[in-house]
């Protein structure tokens, strides 16, 4: 039965949940806490991180959480034997807790693969909208460490702690994804009323004591994450409909439909978080203002640099959560995404959904390995760089070092992965002088020439290099030392 369900659902749920749900907020407020600024600055230099969506839903291979949300959207559709009746479905979904047993869970293996790929930070779903906690909370029994969950008998059952410890050991910055809405919690979806949509299912103004209890629950859970899990750098809060009414942008469709004020007291949460985790970067996603310290375009890359820190989160497969037989983006495309994102000054948070057994697919490992091989040669043109106008022209993408003394021009391969080098590249906005040096990172011994012409510098690429380029993968880089 489980297998049949997986097969049906993997065809249908491999859709990526509507990217437009998370339009970028524009009312960015730069933090003033020097420790937050310092952490944010450091984070911006890291460029490349690993996102993991993992929960009991991975056992069915369905979209994370959304199939229990009673909205009529493509990504909320129920499939499988319980689909016909909402209550049966929710019960069966929540019952997945009693079979969750990822016996192959070995976060050190993930950390090693991510590190080798050149990733420098990690964000894990400690709790998604369905409310299942991948950490040892005292606030609910709907958690991986509950006696109801078979994995609770493992010494590694506190998954968030194990993941954070393993990645921290490998030098990663640590990010806790946490969903503000909680579709298991009776003070968010009060069983007295049936849930109608993703929002709280009662009017918090009418039942203030219920909302106060939910606020306390949320505060307590975040406090647990901020205290029992070592140093945490990023609190990545999802579920932007949980927000004060005053922050709703009426120009954004999905925000107009939020029925109630759902003020969760971000000021209090951020203050508490930063008491335990000085400099904590808070990402109150899509809400804008003081507690969205960086902005998170989803499944997209902005065309131009943005005026604030940002990160594109993008799935390696077709889905955030594990889907058996998912189709993964080719390495070529993933490297190009990274290059394009950094050329606009952003970070790339690349998502992999671990399997119900607790591992990545072989394909995911091989993508990471190939990205790593490329990063070992080109990493110096990735980390700590800033944008350089015109950012991208044809198949050439530019970035520069922070001190602006080095310019990096990437030449991207075509979609099929072939790298064809032109005879020359026009590099706008710079003037070469006697000291200017050019190095191709894939062929550092080769001497290259840059000459000035009509207000630009022309980089001549000899035929010998063009011939060698056939063996270069994904993108090559010209390092121009000014
Ligand atoms: C989308 C999905 C949500 C997921 C998030 C990650 O908004 O709806 O389930 O966690 O993307 O960015």
Q: Indicate if 328 and 429 belong to the same structural domain.
A: no
**385-to-109, 344, 402, 466 alpha-carbon distances in Å:** 29, 10, 6, 27
Last residue of a domain, one of 351, 379, 407: 379
- Mutual orientation of helices 107-116 and 362-378 as an angle, nearest 10°? 40
Q: Can you tell me which atom of ligand 1 is nearest the CA of 296?
A: 12
Mutate to test the pocket of ligand 1, among 318, 320, 323, 348 (most ligand atoms within 8 A of CB): 320
Cα(33)–Cα(92) distance, integer angstroms: 46
51 with 60: CB under 8 angstroms? no
Pocket test for ligand 1, best of 13, 17, 352 (most atoms within 8 A of CB): 17
Per-position pLDDT tens, the chain of length 482: 444 454 444 433 333 333 334 456 568 999 999 999 999 999 999 999 999 999 999 999 999 999 999 999 999 999 999 999 999 999 999 999 999 999 999 999 999 999 999 999 999 999 999 999 999 999 999 999 999 999 999 999 999 999 999 999 999 999 999 999 999 999 999 999 999 999 999 999 999 999 999 999 999 999 999 999 999 999 999 999 999 999 999 889 999 999 999 999 999 999 999 999 999 999 999 999 999 999 999 999 999 999 999 999 999 999 999 999 999 999 999 999 999 999 999 999 999 999 999 999 999 999 999 999 999 999 999 999 999 999 999 999 999 999 999 999 999 999 999 999 999 999 998 999 999 999 999 999 998 999 999 888 999 999 999 999 999 999 999 999 99
Q: State residue 24's pLDDT score.
A: 62
Q: State whether 337 and 313 are in the same domain.
A: yes
**Prior bond to 390 cis, omega within 30?**
yes
The whole-number pLDDT of residue 145 equals 98
The tally of domains found in the chain comes to 2
Looking at the structure, do residues 360 and 455 belong to the same domain, yes or no? no
Does 127 sit in the ligand 1 pocket, CB within 6 Å? no
3-class secondary structure, 469: helix
CA of 236 to the centre of ligand 1 (A): 12
Which residue's alpha carbon is nearest to atom 1 within ligand 1? Answer: 17
Q: Ligand 1: which of 298, 311, 318, 353 to mutate, judged by most atoms within 8 Å of the beta carbon?
A: 298
Q: Considering only CA atoms, give the Rg of the chain.
A: 24
272 with 374, same domain?
A: yes
Counting atoms of ligand 1 from 1, which one is nearest the CA of 75?
8
For ligand 1, the distance from its centroid to the CA atom of residue 287, given in whole angstroms, is: 15
**421 and 401 in one domain?**
yes
Our answer on whether the CB atom of 224 is closer than 6 Å to any ligand 1 atom is no
Query: How far is it, in rounded angstroms, from Cα 228 to Cα 210?
Result: 27
**392 and 268 within one domain:** no
Residues 188 and 48 in one domain: yes
Question: Phi and psi at residue 131, in whole multiples of 5°?
Answer: 90, -5
Specify the pLDDT at position 229.
98
Claim to verify: residue 155 and residue 283 sit in the same structural domain: yes
Question: What's the rounded Cα separation, in Å, for the pair 243 and 234?
Answer: 19
* Residue 3 confidence (pLDDT): 46
Q: What is the CATH number of the domain that holds 305?
A: 3.20.20.80
Distant-in-sequence, close-in-space partners of 467: CB < 8 Å, separation ≥ 6: none
CATH code of residue 468: 2.60.40.1180
309 touches 321 (CB < 8 A): no
Residues 147 and 262 in one domain: yes
Check whether residue 302 and residue 422 sit in a common domain.
Answer: no
Ligand 1 neighbourhood includes 64 CB (under 6 angstroms): yes
Q: What is the pLDDT of residue 2?
A: 46
CA of 216 relative to ligand 1 center, distance in Å: 24
Which residue range forms the structural domain that includes residue 45?
2-379
How high is the pLDDT of residue 454? 86
Q: Give distance in angstroms: CA of 17 to centre of ligand 1.
A: 7
Atom of ligand 1 nearest to the CA of 313: 12
Of the residues 347, 379, 411, which one is the last residue of a structural domain? Answer: 379
Inter-residue contact 412 to 395 (CB < 8 Å)? yes
* Nearest alpha carbon to residue 377 among 398, 356, 408, 343: 408
Quickly count: other Cβ atoms within 10 Å of residue 93's Cβ: 24
**379, 414, 443 - which closes a domain:** 379
Residue to mutate, 13, 15, 20, 22, ligand 1, most ligand atoms under 8 Å from C-beta: 22
- Looking at the fold, whether 320 and 443 belong to one and the same domain comes out as no
Is 241 touching ligand 1 by the criterion CB < 6 Å?
no
Residue 20 confidence (pLDDT): 37
Does 143 lie in the same domain as 29?
A: yes
Residue 74 CA to ligand 1 center (angstroms) comes to: 14
pLDDT, position 455: 83
């Amino acid at each position: 039965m489980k297998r049949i369900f997986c097969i049906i659902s993997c065809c249908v749920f491999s859709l990526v949940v509507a990217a437009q749900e998370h339009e970028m907020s524009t009312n960015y407020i730069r933090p003033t806490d020097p420790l937050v600024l310092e952490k944010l600055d450091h984070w911006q230099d890291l460029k490349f991180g690993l996102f993991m969506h993992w929960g009991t839903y991975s056992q069915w291979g369905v979209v994370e959480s959304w199939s229990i949300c009673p909205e009529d959207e493509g990504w909320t559709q129920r499939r499988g034997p319980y689909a016909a009746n909402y209550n049966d479905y929710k019960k069966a979904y929540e019952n997945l807790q009693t079979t969750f047993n990822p016996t192959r869970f070995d976060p050190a293996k993930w950390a090693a693969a991510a590190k080798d790929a050149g990733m420098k930070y990690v964000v894990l779903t400690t709790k998604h909208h369905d409310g299942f906690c991948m950490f040892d909370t005292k606030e609910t029994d709907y958690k991986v460490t509950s006696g109801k969950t078979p994995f609770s008998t493992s010494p590694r059952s506190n998954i968030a702690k194990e993941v954070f410890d393993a990645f921290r050991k490998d030098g990663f910055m640590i990010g806790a994804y946490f969903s503000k809405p909680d579709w298991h919690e009776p003070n968010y979806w009060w069983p007295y009323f049936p849930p109608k949509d993703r929002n709280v299912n009662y009017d918090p103004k009418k039942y203030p004591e219920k909302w106060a209890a939910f606020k306390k629950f949320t505060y307590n859970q975040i406090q647990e994450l901020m205290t029992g899990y070592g140093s945490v750098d990023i609190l990545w809060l999802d579920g932007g409909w949980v927000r004060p009414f005053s922050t709703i942008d009426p120009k954004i469709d999905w925000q107009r439909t939020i029925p109630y004020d759902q003020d969760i007291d971000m000021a209090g949460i951020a203050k508490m978080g930063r008491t335990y985790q000085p400099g904590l970067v808070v990402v109150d996603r899509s809400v804008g203002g003081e507690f969205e310290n960086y902005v998170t375009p989803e499944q997209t890359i902005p065309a131009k640099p943005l005026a604030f820190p940002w990160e594109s989160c993008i799935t390696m497969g077709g889905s955030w959560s594990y889907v058996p037989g998912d189709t993964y983006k080719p390495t070529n495309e993933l490297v190009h995404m990274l290059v394009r994102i950094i050329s606009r000054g952003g970070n790339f948070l690349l998502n992999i959904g671990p399997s119900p057994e607790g591992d990545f697919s072989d394909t995911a490992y091989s993508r990471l390995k190939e990205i790593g091989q490329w990063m070992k040669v080109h990493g110096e043109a990735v980390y700590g760089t800033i944008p350089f106008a015109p950012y991208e022209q044809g198949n050439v993408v530019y970035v520069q070092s922070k001190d602006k003394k080095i310019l990096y021009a990437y030449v991207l391969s075509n979609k099929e992965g072939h790298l064809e080098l032109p005879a020359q590249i026009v590099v706008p906005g710079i003037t070469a002088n006697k000291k200017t040096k050019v190095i191709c990172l894939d062929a550092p011994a080769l001497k290259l020439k840059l000459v000035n012409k009509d207000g630009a510098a022309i980089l001549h690429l000899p035929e010998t290099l063009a011939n060698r380029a056939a063996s270069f993968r994904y993108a090559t880089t010209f390092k121009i030392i000014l």
